[in-house]
Structure 1
């Protein structure tokens, strides 16, 4: 594994960072204080992101994306992660790569408009009674006269209010397994405006202001078979094939925010004077900076290694879980210590630190809680012994 970056990777990092600082940072205070990202801002920044070649950069070249390898994509994600989440996710959208699992017709209808910035997608799995345990979902899809009829509720669905369609996972039957009967899952495309499909406002969230969540309700929502993504009853296969790297994406955006917080803490420790000297010269502060830098480096190395292994085809579930777990917990530590170094000013919204601190909390919950990541890691360790 080469720890150095290529000229192309350095150029992508520099271009993305410059865009974030020039086009996203200026809107952060407005979004944080209002909790709202106006459509005129979205369209303005989106147009600039498309012109800069940064929009939908996670997608392959053959569908209009940048065709980045996994490591380069995550370097790009890290730079975007420095900014308010609603701004970078909405204005510099990265459509879910699960859209690549669609048929040629589905790609034309759903994938390509998202790449061009004409549509947004959202992914709906979580339910009030089924978060980490997806097979515990209660929302159902049943075949009736050649159509599928969907019933049930999904919640915590990110940016569903903005999305033009949802990719929805539903329990579609049961199957016998060595551990007893388990639910089968099927994925569907559901367009906004489909009869029986309602999007309601979700919950007020302490993290990621401006980045909304919604409640999706399905009441005898009828869909033709052509709306199935992948094969019927094979929703888990689709998800496992196309969604694995999302944990690395979370890790990378966390690294960007942690690096921004550390940079602010270092600058403040060098500039702020107390008792006749820079506060960075006091051991109580200098050791914090050392620990923050060391832990951030460890998280970045774990994430880069997992990205490299992903492209080699050797990555394991534990590799990705370690990266996600370490990066999210390091972000929480770095944000907290950066505020401590700043003292009272760290909690004021004149600085981005209180936002980074608040935003850090959700990262240890979504895309698999820290407990789920530890379960995946320990399960892989034990399998090596149990055979």
Structure 2
């Protein structure tokens, strides 16, 4: 693994960082204050992101995306992660890679418009009674002739308020296994406004203001078989083929926010004078900075290694779980210590630290809780030994 950046990688990192600082940072205060991303601002920033070549950069070239390798992609995500989540996720969108499972007319209706910025997607798995236990979902798809009838509720569905269509996962049957009956899952593409499908605003969230979660309700929602993404009963296979790298995306954006918090903490340690000297000269502050930098570096190296393995085709679930776990828990530590170094000023809205601190909390929950990541890691360690 070569840690030297190519000229292209340096250009992508600089272009992304300049866009974040010049186009996104100026609007953070408004989004944080109002809790909303204005539609006109969203459209303006999305157009600028498309013009800058940053939109849908995660998608393969064959689909019209930038076709970044995974290492370069996590560098790009790290830069975007420094900004308010609603601004970077909605305005510099990265369509779900799962759309690469689209076939035939689905590619023209969903995949290509999502890459061009004409449509946006959201992913609907989580339910009130089924979070980490995905197979516990109750939202059901019952086949009737060539159609499927969907009934059930999804919640915590991020950015469904601005999405044009939903990638829905629903229980479509059962199979017998040595451990008993197990639900079969099918993935569907559902347009917003389709009869029987309603999107409602979700819960007020301490993290990521302006980046809303929603509740999706399906009541006798009839879908044609052409709405199936992948194969019937093969929804997990579709998800596992394309969604693994989302944990690297979470890790990378967390690392970006941690870097921003660390930058503020270092500058404050130099600028703030108490008892006649810079506070960074006190061991109580300088050792905090050393620990913050150490944890940041460890998380970034784990993420880079997992990205490199992904490109080599040797990545394992444990690699991505380690990166996600370390980065999310590191961010919580760095954000908290950055505030402690700033003292009372750290929790004031004049600085981004209180936002980074609040936003850090959700990262240890979504895309697999810290406990799920530890389960994945420990299982990988013990199974080869018969455990």
Task: Give matches, 1:3-22, under 5 Å.
Answer: 3-22=3-22
- Structure 2 residue 211 is the aligned partner of structure 1 residue 215: no
Instruction: Provide structure 1 residue ranges, at least 5 long, that are not aligned to the other structure.
Output: none
Q: With the length of structure 1 as denominator, give the TM-score of the two structures.
A: 0.99
For 1:246, the equivalent position in structure 2 comes to 246
Q: Find the aligned partners of 1:7 and 1:150 in 2 and give their Cα distance.
A: 50
C-alpha separation in 1, matches of 2:247 and 2:328: 10
TM-score (norm 2): 0.99
Matches within 5 A, 1:187-202: 187-202=187-202
- The 5 Å alignment of 1:221-232 reads 221-232=221-232
How far 1:104 sits from its partner (Å)?
2.4
1:270 — aligned with what?
A: 270
The C-alpha deviation readout for 1:328-380, integer Å capped at 9, x for no partner, is 00000000000000000000000000000000000000000000000000000
In the alignment, does 2:387 pair up with 1:379?
no
Counterpart position of 1:70: 70
SS of 2:67's partner is coil
1:234 aligns with 2:237: no
**CA–CA distance in structure 2, aligned partners of residues 23 and 349 of structure 1:** 20
Residue 4 of structure 1: how far off its partner (Å): 1.5
Alignment of 1:93-104 (within 5 A): 93-104=93-104
Q: CA deviation at 1:6?
A: 1.0
Task: Report what 2:45 is aligned to.
Answer: 45
Measure the CA separation in 2 of the matches of 1:357 and 1:333. 9
5+ residue gaps, structure 2? none
Across the aligned residues of Structure 1 and Structure 2, the Cα RMSD in angstroms comes to 0.7
Distance 1:131 1:63 in 2: 31
Paired with 1:119 and 1:102, the residues of 2 have a C-alpha distance of 15
| SS of the residue 2:176 aligns to | strand
Q: Give the drift of 1:178.
A: 2.0
CA distance in 1, matches of 2:207, 2:215: 17
User: What is aligned with 2:183?
Assistant: 183
Q: Deviations along 1:213-245, whole A, 9 cap, x unmatched?
A: 100000000000000000000000000000000
**Structure 1, 101-110 or 374-383: larger mean CA deviation:** 101-110
**Equivalenced residues, count:** 387
**How much has 1:145 moved relative to structure 2?**
2.2
1:157 is displaced (CA, Å) by 0.3
- Corresponding residue for residue 122 of structure 1: 122
TM superposition shift of 1:65:
0.7
- For 1:206, the equivalent position in structure 2 comes to 206
Return the offset for 1:179. Answer: 1.4
Is the partner of 2:166 in helix, strand or coil?
A: strand
